[in-house]
Homo-oligomer: A and B are copies of this chain.
Amino acid sequence: MDTPFTPAFKNVEIITIGDEIVNGQIVDSNSAWIASFLNRSGFEVNKITSVPDNAQAIFQALDSALAGSGIVLMTGGLGPTKDDITKHCLCTYFNTKLVFNQAVYDNMTELFNKRGLWAINSFNRSQAEVPEACTVIINRKGTAAVSWFEQDGKILVSMPGVPLEMMWCMEKEIMPRLLSKVQSHPIIQRYIWVKGYPEAVLAEFISDWEDALPPELKLAYLPQRSVMLLRLTAKNSDETRLNELLDSHLDKLKSLLGTAIFAEGVKSLEEALGQVLSNKGLSLALAESCTGGAVGARLTRAPGSSAYFLGGIISYANQVKQELLAVPELILQTKGAVSKEVAEAMANGVRIKLKSDIGIALSGIAGPTGGSIGKPVGTVFIALADSEQVMCRKFEFQSDRIGNIEQAVHQALILLLDYLYL
């Protein structure tokens, strides 16, 4: 296994294993993390497959992946319980058997001692049994080891599905080995945020520019509801040339679109807004009712958000709206908590209370209950106040509770964006 080795081709397929993925119990966020992490090191993912904890499904996925890709990365199905069958399947597939591995067992003992409390039982002990015909890599964050197979010029790696363990294994153990075995090529991505153009209008407007892109550059439209994120990906050349190509074509795009571009170089709308707020030196506070903190959570995903985000008040109960946000009881009684007047009073109240330049407030009915004929489930008022004015928008979202909250969060960001460019 120490001889130089290059997979037949460096494209990667990801296989995630687990009943909970294919029945929709959980969203498979491991794949996206792995794909993004691989991309940054110049690897490309050409397929992601999720299959249940079922031997036949796992064998078919292995066949298909190894036929189509040089590198196959698998997660999941390595736990100590009876529904975890991945390593048994790998033994069958690679015609090998499980053997006890002392190093894996020692790592397990160490983890158990560090965490205290429980003794290793037979279920745990079975996790120290690993396929014989592979390189075993110790997972320092958990009890399931990584198995690294090489066969017919291809690499197959099976790793745990617990996200933190998977991330540690990818960063510390798997990526360094991949990079030592596979010549990767740079992939450079640039991001541009555009407001005010529906997708098709933008596509038509920049059509000539897009048609003139060299084969090394590829444009993608990534609509974020009412704003557009453009991604320009450069590959198949050296880094210097790719950066030159990106610079020159992005310069042309910028002169075409002018001030419709409101941010660049960041992947999320909250980071894009953070750029604008920082540049303008404005601070922000939130008063959240139906969203329960989700707008604040979204804003603080952006690193450095403390430069412009002061905080907020989650006024889920009416008493909190009155006492902390100074919403007059009379307005609450006559207009109701879900109203333009209350949202505006909340926005102003939080702005004054937290001494921010801008206050944003949301009040609505996320559902599934609480709706009425005049104010159905999905009704949300979003208000923005500065020291001179208050504006408010009314929405009637038609999704479920989670979807209504998510849309309200997005529309709060859009209201802020529109305000910043009014």
Interface residues of A (CB under 8 A from B): 19-29, 31-39, 44-52, 54, 57, 60-61, 64, 68, 79-83, 117-118, 120-124, 127, 162-164, 167, 198-201, 203-204, 210, 218-223, 231, 233, 267, 286, 288, 290-297, 299-301, 303-306, 309-317, 319-320, 324, 353-355, 366-369, 398-399, 401-403, 405, 407
Contacts and interface: CB of A to CB of B under 8 A. Distances in A.
Contact of A23 (B39, B61, B313, B366): B39
Given A292-B299, A294-B293, A27 B32 contact: yes
Contacts of A355: 319
A295 B294 CA distance: 9
Nearest to A367: B303
Given A201-B121, A313-B311, A316-B310, A61 B47 contact: yes
B24 A39 contact: yes
A355 to B, nearest CB: 7
Given A31-B24, A313-B314, A316-B310, A204 B299 contact: no
A39 B61 CA distance: 22
Given A25-B36, A25-B231, 18 more contacts: A20-B231, A25-B32, A25-B222, A26-B222, A31-B50, A48-B50, A79-B221, A164-B398, A164-B407, A167-B399, A293-B295, A297-B405, A301-B405, A310-B317, A311-B314, A319-B354, A320-B354, A324-B324
A97 to B, nearest CB: 22
Contact of A316 (B162, B198, B309): B309
Contacts of A127: 200
A304 B127 CA distance: 41
A27 B25 contact: no
